[in-house]
């Protein structure tokens, strides 16, 4: 049984020394959780009360390496890897550590999660003296303590994925302020292809453009069933009009909301009002779910305090105060603007009323949910409101209650919300953006985006369904982004300009009815990638794994050479702009493959490569070699081979024309009698269905109709599921083998 002990200045986890030279003021308290008997909380005591403390925890002994998820900017987390305590970045919100014994199989893992306690929030950081520290702050000078109790949750185990999942479940049970994703309602729109207006129009979004975009996607065979009307539909005001005769560019983030209803662009000839537009696009274009964007405070700069509509919410102008952590890594231009020009904040006692009025109006005109942005601004507004944690929680819970009252299906996307203040206050919120925006005009940020969302999903994926953001289908990186979205386990949506689409990419993601093949969990890096830098070390490929009902998928991405992390890194050898990297792919890269393989599985798998169309058979711990150049990828479907009738070895692969082929498979059964063996599959379509089959079948039937099939020397069995647009249920497939 793993235990955590603090003895003679050493923190021991699972029998390994995790921290040495711990100061005497450091405390350890058992977490008292049946599910994690070795879990504990680190804390510390100071001589005098303060609203912000920095305590040393000691240093990390040699032999450990770590992965940090830290707030790179006030809004977003990013990953960083290292070995010594000094390198742990400020604002670290998850620290996963690995210590290897004689080999990878003998590795032990420790997890440190700086938590919320009362009105205080903890984060980890390194010091120049090579100490690991934790910061404990309230964000309000009047909210003070000298005892940092239950500040850093510590747990250990031999499987990093199970360790993170178990720890988040235990922490949520102890704290009671947030919930694990398994207990939350999943919004239905995630299973449908979507379109977001942001990169298509930015703030110039308008009714005509929205209809044109929906129509061009629908006519091309990728009909969006989910629409986000992003920033640009609200009635806002810039109160800083004239400076030397020109609008000051930096004031754009200080614009404020003046009304709850739509602006004049959505009231005119193209549509009478927002309700008229929503009704039209649902009826004409078959859209099932419409979301509208708004900021947590109404708009970027909050609400206009002189607005007649806003008067009932008792707004007042306040000036954000960023903590030292907020500016320790990358400063954000939006926050600099808000610090200068202020934010119109709604009285916390009126915030539920504000959300309820906003959402009841949107619901009344047919809007189904909201994307709520700029959430982390709350951590800078705690002065005079009881601190950052109390204020964030007040707003978050009011938001969730309004969503539950006004929209069906928990239809909320949280965005710019990576502070632990928000993460550990999410009782009901089930979807959160996983990283900084997709930026189509920034070529050096494309590989970073893929690495960022995958690593951030290690933590976020236990509390939310991570949203890996929109992308554009007619973009030089579209295949790269599209393949990643297929493995994300979250929504798939684009932000194409009307008429500017690549349907060759989209049709690998979207079925003709507008549905997508969503994987079971959050896509995350494989175990052998967790402590590598897939963007800048010049040698590591990024592998992302996920599970479907009957098979697994591993995407392999070369993210090297195309961009740099946007913080200071150690000197590394020059990496060319295009580099070819060779790596290994193994069925053992998939965690919990036994979950879908069944009790009788002998460890053999069929492995199908999407781009090369090659089929291999591998035992679980065998591997194959692959090489990829910068900004290219390969997706492998890994399906456990089952034996039917003692002779037929069979593994379903799914729709070979789709990135996540196995996402189309629902179930498989086998029947054996004296004359024949029959494999029965339920599958979505249309497309080309593939499977590994050791023998050539006598015949294949789809919905009781015999179909032509091919069977090659490598065992690939394939046949077409016809493109019948009226076929909305599962295909019933029979593959018959006669006794020889």
Please check whether residue 351 is in contact with residue 408, taking contact to mean a CB–CB distance below 8 angstroms: no
pLDDT score at 134: 98
Please check whether residue 330 is in contact with residue 565, taking contact to mean a CB–CB distance below 8 angstroms: no
pLDDT digits (tens, 9 = 90+) for 358-377: 999 999 999 999 999 999 99
DSSP 8-state class, residue 186: P
Peptide bond into 405 cis (omega under 30): no
User: Residue 568: pLDDT above 60?
Assistant: no
* Region class of 391: left (phi > 0), else alpha (psi between -120 and 50), else beta: alpha
Lowest mean pLDDT among 198-202, 240-244, 431-435, 500-504: 240-244
DSSP 8-state class, residue 423: H
For the chain, which residues make up each domain, given as ranges?
5-176, 231-278+290-433, 645-739
477/471 Cα distance (integer angstroms): 9
DSSP 8-state class, residue 399: H
pTM above 0.85, yes or no: yes
> Per-residue DSSP letters for 705-733?
EEE--EE-TT-EEEEEEP--TT--S-EEE
Share of the chain above pLDDT 70, in %: 96
730/682 Cα distance (integer angstroms): 6
Three-class SS state of 554: strand
165/161 Cα distance (integer angstroms): 6
Confidence class for position 104, pLDDT limits 50, 70, 90? low
Lowest mean pLDDT among 147-151, 256-260, 527-531, 577-581: 577-581
pLDDT digits (tens, 9 = 90+) for 250-302: 788 999 999 999 999 999 888 999 999 999 999 999 999 999 999 999 999 99
- Of residues 400, 431, 424, 477, the one with CA closest to residue 151: 424
User: Residue 33: pLDDT above 80?
Assistant: no
Confidence class for position 103, pLDDT limits 50, 70, 90? low
Q: Which two tokens stand for residue 342?
A: 């202020």
pLDDT score at 246: 47
pLDDT digits (tens, 9 = 90+) for 455-473: 999 999 999 999 999 999 9
Burial class (CB in 10 A: 0-12, 13-18, 19+), 46: middle
614/381 Cα distance (integer angstroms): 56
pLDDT score at 270: 84
pLDDT digits (tens, 9 = 90+) for 678-689: 999 999 989 999
What angle, 0 to 180 degrees and rounded to 10, lies between the N-to-C axes of helices 446-460 and 478-487? 10
Total residues belonging to the chain: 740
Please check whether residue 457 is in contact with residue 480, taking contact to mean a CB–CB distance below 8 angstroms: no
- Of residues 131, 123, 109, the one with CA closest to residue 13: 109
pLDDT score at 574: 45
- The contacts of residue 527 (CB under 8 Å, 6+ apart) are 160, 161, 589, 591
Burial class (CB in 10 A: 0-12, 13-18, 19+), 649: middle
Please check whether residue 611 is in contact with residue 621, taking contact to mean a CB–CB distance below 8 angstroms: no
Phi, psi of 215 (to 5 degrees): -65, -45
Q: What is the mean pLDDT of residues 331-341?
A: 92
pLDDT digits (tens, 9 = 90+) for 476-495: 999 999 999 999 999 999 99
Q: What is the mean pLDDT of residues 409-432?
A: 98
């Amino acid at each position: 049984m793993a235990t955590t002990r603090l003895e003679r200045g050493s923190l021991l986890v699972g029998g390994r020394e995790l921290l040495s030279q711990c100061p005497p003021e450091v405390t350890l308290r058992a977490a008292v959780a049946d599910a994690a008997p070795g879990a504990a909380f680190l804390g510390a005591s100071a001589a005098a009360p303060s609203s912000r403390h920095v305590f040393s925890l000691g240093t990390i002994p040699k032999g450990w390496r770590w992965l940090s998820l830290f707030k790179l900017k006030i809004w977003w987390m990013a990953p960083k890897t290292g070995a010594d305590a000094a390198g742990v970045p400020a604002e670290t919100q998850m620290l996963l550590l690995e210590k290897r014994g004689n080999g990878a199989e003998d590795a032990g893992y420790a997890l440190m999660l700086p938590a919320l306690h009362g009105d205080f929030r903890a984060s980890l950081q390194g010091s120049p003296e090579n100490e690991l520290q934790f910061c404990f702050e309230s964000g309000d000078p009047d909210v003070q303590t000298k005892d940092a109790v239950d500040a850093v949750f510590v747990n250990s185990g031999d499987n990093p994925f199970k360790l993170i999942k178990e720890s988040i479940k235990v922490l949520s049970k102890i704290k009671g302020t947030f919930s694990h994703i398994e207990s939350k309602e999943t919004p239905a729109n995630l299973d449908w292809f979507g379109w977001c207006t942001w990169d298509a129009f930015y703030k110039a979004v308008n009714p005509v453009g929205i209809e044109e975009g929906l129509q061009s996607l629908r006519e091309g065979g990728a009909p969006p069933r989910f629409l986000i009307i992003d920033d640009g539909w609200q009635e806002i005001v810039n109160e800083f009009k004239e400076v030397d005769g020109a609008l000051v560019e930096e004031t754009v983030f200080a614009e404020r909301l003046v009304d709850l209803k739509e602006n004049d662009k959505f009231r005119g000839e193209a549509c009478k009002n927002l309700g008229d537009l929503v009704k039209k696009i649902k009826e004409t274009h078959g859209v099932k779910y419409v979301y509208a964007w708004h900021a947590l405070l109404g708009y970027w700069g909050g609400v206009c305090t002189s607005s007649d509509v806003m008067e009932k919410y008792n707004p007042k102008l306040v000036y954000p105060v960023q903590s030292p952590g907020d500016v320790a890594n990358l400063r954000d231009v939006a926050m600099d603007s808000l610090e200068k020009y202020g934010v119109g904040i709604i009285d916390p006692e009126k915030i539920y009323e504000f959300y309820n009025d906003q959402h009841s109006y949107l619901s009344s005109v047919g809007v189904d949910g909201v994307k709520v942005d700029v959430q982390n601004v709350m951590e800078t507004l705690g002065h005079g409101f009881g601190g950052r944690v109390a204020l964030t929680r007040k707003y978050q819970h009011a938001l969730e209650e309004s969503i539950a009252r006004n929209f069906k299906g928990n239809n909320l996307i949280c965005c710019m919300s990576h502070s632990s203040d928000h993460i550990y206050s999410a009782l009901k919120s089930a979807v959160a953006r996983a990283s900084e925006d997709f930026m189509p005009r920034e070529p050096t940020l494309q590989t970073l985006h893929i690495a960022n969302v995958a690593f951030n999903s290690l933590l976020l994926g236990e509390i939310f369904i991570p949203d890996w953001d929109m992308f554009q289908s007619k973009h030089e990186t579209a295949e790269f982004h599209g393949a990643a979205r297929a493995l994300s386990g979250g929504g798939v949506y684009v932000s194409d300009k009307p008429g500017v689409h690549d349907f060759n990419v989209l049709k690998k993601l979207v079925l003709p009815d507008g549905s997508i093949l969503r994987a079971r969990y959050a896509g995350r890096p494989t175990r052998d990638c967790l402590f590598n830098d897939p963007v800048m070390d010049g040698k590591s490929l990024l592998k992302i794994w996920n599970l479907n009902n009957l098979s697994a998928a591993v995407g392999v991405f070369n993210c090297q050479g195309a961009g740099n992390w946007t913080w200071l890194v150690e000197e590394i050898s020059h990496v060319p702009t295009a580099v070819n990297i060779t790596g290994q792919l193994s069925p053992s890269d998939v965690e919990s493959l036994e979950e879908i393989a069944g009790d009788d599985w002998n460890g053999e798998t069929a492995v199908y490569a999407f781009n090369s169309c090659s089929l291999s058979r591998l035992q679980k711990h065998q591997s194959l070699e692959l090489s990829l150049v910068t900004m290219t990828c390969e997706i492998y479907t890994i399906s456990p081979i089952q034996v039917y009738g003692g002779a037929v070895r069979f593994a379903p692969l799914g729709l070979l024309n789709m990135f996540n082929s196995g996402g189309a498979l629902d179930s498989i059964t086998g029947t054996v009698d004296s004359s024949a063996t029959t494999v029965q599959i339920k599958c979505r379509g249309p497309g080309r269905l593939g499977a590994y089959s050791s023998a050539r079948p006598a015949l294949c039937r789809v919905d009781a109709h015999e179909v032509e099939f091919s069977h090659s020397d490598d065992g690939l069995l394939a046949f077409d599921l016809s493109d019948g647009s009226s076929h909305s249920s599962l295909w019933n497939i029979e593959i018959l083998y006669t006794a020889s």
